[in-house]
């Protein structure tokens, strides 16, 4: 009998919470800036200083990217803390090639896809999420992806159950404006961030930005994926540059081509190793571009590699190159410093790792300056070794960061702590504020430039189509004129019409008589 009562209680609660959130979703799907006010109707009875025993983590899918690697780290971290983690995704988890698999003890649940779902059918995801959270007695919910369409409504389902919610933002805020895959309508998603108990980010600049949307914003470090090689760093005795990342547009791999052109003038035997997954179609396009600019024989694409084998690749390198326009943390940069490989990056001033003096920051897109900085590291070996030592000392301080203490403080925080955190925030430095506003406006500018270029290309395409149509029309007109002249001047046609003149006249006369009768 008690099981029946419990089951009925769950069904009744589900109907109440899911119904409320679904109605909010229908009203706020296109205007999340009104969501905070609407969300007050969802009951939220979170216990203060609750001991977290079960925790849910959402990430759309688990591949081999940086975000996925951090999620795997968190799963292992929580297990070490005596917390039972479960993982929620949009698609079934397949053990990706060259990435460690999840522990078998971790439960995995697939929800209706947040990217394809609409407000009219959000109920299916809401109900599935409710069941997972209740059936697994979840105490805390970490959203490790920060701009999915269902983010706020998923969080409200959890809050309706008294579950604490934590938003873990692994990218920098300008991505809201720079990601070509991100529809403009999602730029107002941060208005919903106030409903989260904690917002967690990776830089002080991002903290300053997100504090406009949530009173409890915290900064953390991402994990090191390679232990600092203090006793056996890379030898730095050659002329090899490493570029480790997936060959995808957001990592700007094409930018290495002009850099290698200039570097070859300073270091004739310099070569570049690009380590990371690449699709066959893009590989061909990239290599054709490298061939066109004369650096094909200087670049080696080695594809995706096992994580545990990355140390081997760093040991072959004498300098590290990062060409991204945006990074949230850059696990690869941390790996390079941990292996004693000095770095050259296009300027990302907000990055925690970019504060290291072993990292040479170059103005975005300045391939000549990047090539010169790499050349110095490859040629001036005493200088390179000094930079490597600085990098190892810096990254060793990062390695001592207490991730368990940080997450414990996040998961156990109560309302009074949040208020004290907001009241004791202190003054923001002018430099940090200027950096935030600069990044914000540069993002707007870059996005506007991208849109303008897209429109220009579309207009150029339309103009070319018009020209093609006009040319085709002119050719057709010429052909019609030629056929007309041939028809009128053809001797065989003239003779034929003369021979059939009388029969045609008789036929026309008979047709006329027939019509009269």
Residue 495 in this model has a pLDDT that exceeds 80: no
| 85-99 mean pLDDT | 84
Contact between residue 446 and residue 177 where contact means Cβ atoms under 8 Å apart? yes
- At residue 44's C-alpha, the angle toward residues 43 and 47, to 5°, is 145
Residue 515 is predicted with a pLDDT of 60
Domain ranges in the chain are 2-43+53-221+409-423, 240-400, 433-517
pTM for the whole structure = 0.78
Do the domains 2-43+53-221+409-423 and 240-400 sit in the same CATH topology, yes or no?
yes
Higher pLDDT, 287 or 467: 287
Residue 59 is predicted with a pLDDT of 95
Higher pLDDT, 431 or 229: 229
Residue 79 is predicted with a pLDDT of 96
| Rounded distance between C-alpha atoms, residue 10 and residue 2, angstroms | 12
Residue 499 is predicted with a pLDDT of 61
Tell me the CA distances in angstroms from 286 to 254, 272, 299, 502, one per residue in order.
Answer: 7, 14, 10, 74
CATH topology of domain 240-400: Rossmann fold (3.40.50)
Residue 39 is predicted with a pLDDT of 73
| 319-327 mean pLDDT | 94
What the block records as the tokens of 262 is 């200039």
| Rounded distance between C-alpha atoms, residue 495 and residue 489, angstroms | 11
Residue 2 is predicted with a pLDDT of 39
What the block records as the tokens of 339 is 């292996």
Backbone angles phi, psi at 83, to 5 degrees: -105, 140
Which range is most confident: 92-96, 244-248, 264-268, 484-488? 264-268
| Rounded distance between C-alpha atoms, residue 517 and residue 425, angstroms | 105
Residue 423 in this model has a pLDDT that exceeds 50: no
| Rounded distance between C-alpha atoms, residue 110 and residue 330, angstroms | 28
pLDDT band at residue 339 under the 50/70/90 scheme: very high
Residue 146 is predicted with a pLDDT of 86
| CATH classification for the domain delimited by 2-43+53-221+409-423, as one of 3.20.20.140, 3.40.50.2000, 3.50.50.60, 3.40.50.11610 | 3.40.50.2000
Give the pLDDT confidence of 219-236 residue by residue, as tens digits: 999 999 999 999 999 999
How would DSSP label each residue in 3-39?
A: HHHHHHHHHHHHHHHHHHHHHHHHHHTT-GGGHHHHH
Average the pLDDT over each of 337-351, 396-410, 434-448 and give the range with the smallest value: 434-448
pLDDT band at residue 66 under the 50/70/90 scheme: confident
Contact between residue 260 and residue 368 where contact means Cβ atoms under 8 Å apart? no
Average the pLDDT over each of 162-176, 412-426, 469-483 and give the range with the smallest value: 412-426
């Amino acid at each position: 009998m008690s099981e029946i009562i419990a089951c009925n209680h769950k069904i009744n609660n589900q109907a109440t919470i899911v119904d409320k959130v679904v109605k909010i979703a229908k009203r706020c799907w296109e205007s999340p800036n009104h969501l905070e006010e609407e969300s007050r109707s969802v009951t939220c009875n979170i216990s203060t200083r609750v001991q977290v025993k079960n925790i849910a983590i959402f990430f759309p899918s688990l591949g081999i990217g940086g975000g996925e690697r951090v999620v795997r780290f968190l799963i292992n971290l929580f297990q070490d803390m005596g917390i039972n983690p479960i993982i929620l995704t949009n698609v079934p988890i397949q053990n990706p090639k060259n990435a460690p698999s999840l522990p078998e003890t971790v439960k995995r649940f697939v929800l209706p896809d947040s990217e394809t779902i609409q407000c009219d059918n959000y109920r299916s995801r809401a109900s599935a999420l409710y069941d997972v959270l209740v059936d697994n007695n979840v105490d805390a919910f970490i959203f490790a992806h920060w701009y999915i369409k269902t983010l706020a409504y998923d969080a409200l389902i959890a809050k309706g159950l008294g579950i604490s919610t934590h938003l873990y933002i692994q990218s920098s805020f300008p991505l809201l404006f720079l990601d070509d895959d991100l529809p403009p309508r999602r730029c107002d998603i941060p208005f919903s961030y106030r409903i989260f108990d904690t917002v967690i980010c990776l830089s002080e600049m991002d903290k300053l930005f997100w504090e406009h949307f949530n009173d409890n914003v915290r900064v953390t470090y991402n994990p090191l994926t390679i232990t600092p090689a203090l006793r056996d760093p890379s030898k730095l005795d050659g002329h090899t540059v490493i570029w480790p990342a997936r060959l995808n547009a957001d990592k700007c791999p094409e930018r290495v081509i002009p850099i290698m052109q200039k570097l070859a003038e300073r270091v004739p035997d310099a070569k570049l190793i690009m380590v990371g997954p690449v699709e066959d179609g893009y590989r061909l396009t990239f290599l054709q571009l490298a061939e066109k600019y004369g650096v094909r024989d200087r670049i080696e694409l080695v594809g995706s590699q096992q994580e545990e084998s990355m140390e081997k690749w760093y040991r072959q390198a004498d300098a590290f190159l990062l060409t991204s326009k945006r990074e949230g943390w850059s696990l690869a940069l941390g790996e390079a410093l941990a292996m004693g490989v000095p770095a050259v990056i296009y300027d990302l001033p907000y990055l925690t790792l970019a504060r290291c003096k072993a990292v040479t920051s170059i103005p975005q897109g300045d391939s000549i300056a990047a090539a010169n900085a790499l050349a110095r590291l490859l040629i001036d070996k005493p200088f390179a070794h000094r930079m490597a030592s600085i990098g190892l000392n810096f990254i060793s301080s990062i390695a001592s960061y207490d991730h368990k203490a940080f997450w414990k403080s996040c998961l156990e925080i109560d309302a009074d702590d949040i208020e004290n955190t907001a009241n004791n925030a202190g003054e923001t430095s002018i430099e940090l504020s200027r950096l935030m506003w600069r990044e914000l406006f540069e993002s707007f500018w870059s996005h506007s430039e991208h849109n303008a270029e897209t429109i220009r290309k579309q207009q150029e395409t339309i103009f070319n189509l018009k020209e093609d149509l006009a040319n085709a029309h002119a050719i057709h007109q010429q052909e019609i004129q030629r056929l007309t002249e041939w028809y009128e001047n053809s001797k065989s046609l003239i003779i034929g019409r003369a021979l059939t003149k009388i029969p045609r006249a008789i036929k026309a006369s008979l047709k006329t008589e027939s019509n009269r009768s």
